[in-house]
Amino acid sequence: MLRSREYTFNKQLGKFSRFYRGCVMSRKIVNSVAATAIAASALVSFVYSSSVHAAAGQIVKAHDSDNDGTLDLAEVKKAATAKFERVNTDKDGTLDVQEAKAVGIKLKALKAADPDNDGTLDLNEFLSVVEARFKAADPDKDTTVSAAELKTKAGKALAATM
C-alpha cells in the first residue's frame, strides 16, 4: 500500500518535473522568438529609415524644376497639384475623407482645412494645407525645403502631399 502510494507520488513528481522542464523550454523558445521579433522590427525600422533618407533626396530631385537642389513653394505646389489629381480617384474635383487620408490628412485636419464646410477639400483648400506644411517644414525660413528638412517630422508631412 505504502509502496504503491510512494510509486504514485514519484510518478506524479516525474510528470511534474517533465512539465516544469517543458515550461522552461517553452519559455526559452518564447524568449528567442521575442528576441527574433525585436531584431526583425529593428531591421525593418532601419530599412524604413534609410529608405526615408534616400527618398527625401529623390523627392527633391523629382520636383526641383530649377535644379537648385531644394524645393521652393511653387515647385511643391506643382507636385502637390499632380498628387491631388492622383489621389482624387473618383475624379470629382475634391478629396473626400478617404482620399485625403492618402495625403496624410485625417478627419480633424480635413475639417480645419475646409472653410466652406462641404466635407471635402477642393484643390485650393488642399494647397492651403500644403502651404502650411511647407512653412512648418522650413524652420530656417529660407523659403526653400532641403532634403534634410524633408527628413524631419514636418518634412515628412509635406512629402506626403507630393
Instruction: Kindly list the residues in this chain that would bind Ca ion in the complex (CB under 5 A).
Output: 64, 66, 68, 88, 90, 92, 99, 114, 116, 118, 125, 138, 140, 142
- For residue 94, give the H/E element and its range: strand 94-95
Whichever of 87 and 160 has its CB closer to Ca ion, that residue is: 87
Please say which residue, 85 or 118, places its beta carbon nearer to Ca ion: 118
C-alpha 63 chain-centroid distance: 22
CB of 144 to Ca ion, least distance (A): 5
Q: What are phi and psi of 67, to 5 degrees?
A: 50, 40
CA 12/CA 16 separation, integer angstroms: 6
Q: What is the DSSP letter of 144?
A: E
Q: Are 113 and 127 in contact (CB under 8 A)?
A: no
CB 61, min distance to Ca ion, A:
10
Residue placing its CB nearer to Ca ion in the complex, 6 or 140? 140
Query: CB of residue 159 vs Ca ion: minimum separation in angstroms?
Result: 14
Nearer to Ca ion, 6 or 116 (CB): 116
